[in-house]
Structure 1
Amino acid sequence: MYVVIVYDVAVERVNRVKKFLRQHLHWVQNSVFEGEVTRAEFERIKATLQELIDEEEDSIVIYKLRSMPAREVMGVEKNPMSDVI
């Protein structure tokens, strides 16, 4: 499945969340990651994010898609997909 993860977490947790997501997904721009994952990877990502955040203060939104959607970028491409090997 293809996922897009958008997060808004307290500054003291941002680096831990970003570092974790970079291990599994492609960084698109500030607080946005996307990529293809298996169902097992998806469940591990969710479980770890649950441990990293404070549910009383932080927010994570996950979009699950069947395949990579068409992308259109306006303005500066923060991290081009062509950089992915």
Structure 2
Amino acid sequence: MSMYIVYDFEKKRVAKALKIARKYLYWVQNSVFEGEISEANYVKLKMELENIMDPDVDSVVFYTFRTQKYSKREEMGLRKGGEENIL
């Protein structure tokens, strides 16, 4: 499946969230990731982020799509992330 995630973690946990997300998806911008992910890895990603987050302060939004066939992606300005190798 295709996925986008956006997160907002408190400063002391944001580096951990970044490291976890980069294991599964491509970094696009600060706290934004995209890519293809299996159901099993989606479960792992959610579990790992849940383990480090404080639900009273931090948040994560997951956007999942069966396919990118009907989607369009457009960029403007500075490219911050990319499709470098996933860790």
Common fold, TM-score beyond 0.5?
yes
What's the CA shift for 1:28?
0.1
Partners of 1:2 and 1:53 in 2: CA distance: 23
Q: Which amino acid aligns with 1:37?
A: I
TM-score by length of structure 2 reads 0.87
Q: Which residue of 2 aligns with 1:14?
A: 14
Q: CA RMSD in A?
A: 1.6
Runs (5+) with no aligned partner, structure 2: none
What's the CA shift for 1:58?
0.4
Q: Which amino acid aligns with 1:74?
A: M
- For the pair 1:33 / 2:28, whether they are aligned, the reply is no
Q: Which residue of 2 aligns with 1:43?
A: 43
Runs (5+) with no aligned partner, structure 1: none
Q: Which amino acid aligns with 2:35?
A: G
Quick one: percent identity of the two aligned structures? Answer: 42
Q: Count matched residues.
A: 84
What's the CA shift for 1:84?
5.3
Q: Which amino acid aligns with 1:3?
A: M
What's the CA shift for 1:77?
1.6
Cα deviation, 1:53-74, whole Å, max 9, x if unaligned, reads 0001101000011123321001
What's the CA shift for 1:25?
0.6
Q: 1:77 aligns with which of 72, 76, 79?
A: 79
